[in-house]
Amino acid sequence: MKLNKNLKIGITGSKGFIGGHIVAGLENQGVKLSFFDLPKNNLLKPNPNLLKKFILRNDIIIHAAAINRGMDIEVIAGSVVATYNLISAMEKCGSKAKLIFLSSIQAETETLYGKSKRLAEIMLEDFSNRIKSPVSIFRLTNIFGEWGKPFYNSVIATFCHQVAKGEKLNVNPNDKKIKFLYVGDFVKIIIKELTLERKNNFYLKTISSSNEISIPDLANLIESFKKNKFKAKNKFYKDLYKTYLSYQYKSV
Look up the pTM and report it: 0.93
Q: What are the boundaries of each domain within the chain?
A: 8-251
Strand pairing of 177-179 and 212-214?
antiparallel
How do the pLDDT tens digits run along the chain, 252 residues long? 678 888 999 999 999 999 999 999 999 888 999 999 998 999 999 999 999 999 999 999 999 998 877 788 888 888 999 999 999 999 999 999 999 999 999 999 999 999 999 999 999 999 999 999 999 999 999 999 999 999 888 999 999 999 999 999 989 888 899 999 999 999 999 999 999 989 999 999 999 999 999 999 999 999 999 887 667 779 999 999 999 999 976 543
The dihedrals phi and psi of 48, each to the nearest 5 degrees, come to -55, -40
Residue 249: predicted pLDDT: 64
- CB count, 10 Å around CB of 222? 25
| Residue 75 pLDDT | 85
pLDDT at residue 251, rounded to an integer: 45
Q: State the pLDDT at residue 250.
A: 55
CATH class of 8-251: alpha beta
The predicted structure's pLDDT at residue 2: 78
